Structure 1
């Protein structure tokens, strides 16, 4: 088993550089810790919105504890809140538990709700990023926290909204059943990208599994996965709409 990097210091956020006319700020509500880049400081409005979103998820889990506990898909009824139904659908497509999509779900909820007010908005939630933008962007891919990100994913201006969600067995506190250093998934839907990153990283237990990860990614393309970056030790591979950009 590879050693897991568990530092709570999110030093990678220091590399986030807003463009002219944009501001960067943090929103923390209970366990949710967001980094936001937007055209105005909306921290209080976003904090209130996140509190409401978290309330919907927590209330559902209170009466349906299997939604939080299951590592496999869970069926929810049509009367469930939209965010619950979206998480469950993404999890079913990727054959993982619905909480595998929670970080992406919260990021997308924030980005979509506030994009009419700020057409340029980046929401990063524990390594999962959802963006609305009117210009090209680069999202850093972090595989070695101590040395900082050295490569990023370039995203063209006409592609937004876009999600880039990551899963790792060696970075952070999130559960992974694999041993890979990083799997990052690009998709328009952050719930799908988040669940897919978990599913694909679960498969990555050795360098030999990288080919299988990319094959599975191509199957998930039917549902909206657009590209995948995978790393195990020094071996990396990418498939789909993945433009890698060197970062200083």
Structure 2
């Protein structure tokens, strides 16, 4: 655990300036997909905008329809019971929320990111069944929540202070893929947080779990003493595929897991 200065500033800009730091690797392109409130930044071997947009519309349609019939799904801040006949996106969100102990909407951005990535990856494999694994790489970022399918090592930047040029990140080896990194903050963006943490970032195999856990951990962060509580809680979720956690609150940071932190140029 390390101490450092913290300004507790509120950063609510809707502009995603961090995307300017991202550059697609050779033979890959990056493109944006916006459908209602979903704003995705996708990296793939080719522009797959139409398929990605159609997938987002389908997923959001399922969520809206289910929420209309089951209002508790959209509004509950605690887990809801599994429901027979629910669409896959609903089942994933409910499961991730149950693992973390929060409401299912806490898992929406990460779940959409993962399901879009899986759809694009499956299409690439169909188009290029004889190609190299690199030709199937897909990275989807949805409002800061990321899901990666990659045969290459990757670095995922964390943003503990948007006003600072200093950025750190998780170094993710290829053998850790597929992997999600999701974040929650009481001081960055507009997402609901019941705590005071500057940042809680979670790396996990399942994006619904990563997204819901990030929300749960950020809710726990009210004082510097809570940082250790969060890292201890993170260790108990290892059985659910949680790989690493970075948390920052009130001048202290906590780190747990098997992924290395690295400086991001």
TM over 0.5: yes
Q: Which runs of 5+ in 1 are unaligned?
A: none
Aligned partners of 2:56, 2:144: CA distance in 1, in Å? 17
Within 5 Å, which residues of 2 pair with 1:71-90? 71-90=77-96
CA RMSD of aligned residues (A): 1.3
The Cα shift of 1:3 comes to: 4.3
The Cα shift of 1:76 comes to: 3.1
Aligned partners of 1:98, 1:88: CA distance in 2, in Å? 5
Corresponding position of 2:163: 146
Distance 1:149 1:140, change over 3 A: farther
Corresponding position of 1:190: 207
Within 5 Å, which residues of 2 pair with 1:22-171? 22-118=28-124, 119-148=136-165, 150-171=167-188
Q: Secondary structure at 1:237's aligned position in 2?
A: strand
The Cα shift of 1:75 comes to: 1.2
Contact 1:229 1:242 in 2 (8 A): no
Q: Which runs of 5+ in 2 are unaligned?
A: 1-7, 125-135
The Cα shift of 1:191 comes to: 0.4
Q: Deviations over 1:79-128 (max 9, x none)?
A: 10011011111111111000000001100100111113342111001110
Corresponding position of 2:226: 209
The Cα shift of 1:148 comes to: 4.0
Aligned partners of 2:165, 2:52: CA distance in 1, in Å? 28
The Cα shift of 1:168 comes to: 0.5
Contact 2:247 2:254 in 1 (8 A): yes
The Cα shift of 1:233 comes to: 4.1
Normalised to the residue count of structure 1, the TM-score between the two structures is 0.97
Q: Aligned residue pairs: how many?
A: 248
Aligned partners of 2:34, 2:232: CA distance in 1, in Å? 37
Distance 1:42 1:149, change over 3 A: farther
